[in-house]
Amino acid sequence: MSKYYKELREKLIAAIQQHFGSRVQVEGEKAGLHFLLHLDTEEPIEAIMERAEKMDLELYSIQRFMQKASGSIPATLIIGFAKLKPEEIDEAVEALCRCCFPVS
């Protein structure tokens, strides 16, 4: 991974930790140009994905890649950052947070 993407990933994860706090867990952050974001929420993943589409956020859930649901699967997003520019990170993470944890 190039230095550029490493720094981009580090800045993105820091912004996620700042905005989401303990409501999320990052996994596989060294897997390349994507990582998993586990959400600590009772919100159905379908509702999160619907809001993401309305907010024009390109998100994918891990459930998309599963053959069939087996029991209760925590809401997990696949976060790709190859197209993200450093100056877009804060705005993108704020939108992602609103999408995943809407204010009632």
Number of domains comprising the chain: 1
Give the chain's radius of gyration (CA, Å).
13
Range of the domain at 36: 3-100
Two structure tokens written together for 38: 């586990």
Average pLDDT over the chain reads: 90
pLDDT score of 65? 76
- Strand-pairing partners, residue 39, are 24
pLDDT tens for residues 50-90? 999 999 999 999 887 776 655 567 799 999 999 999 999 99
Note the Cα 6 to chain centre separation in Å: 17
CATH at 65: 3.90.1150.10
> pTM of the full predicted structure?
0.88
pLDDT tens for residues 42-54? 889 999 999 999 9
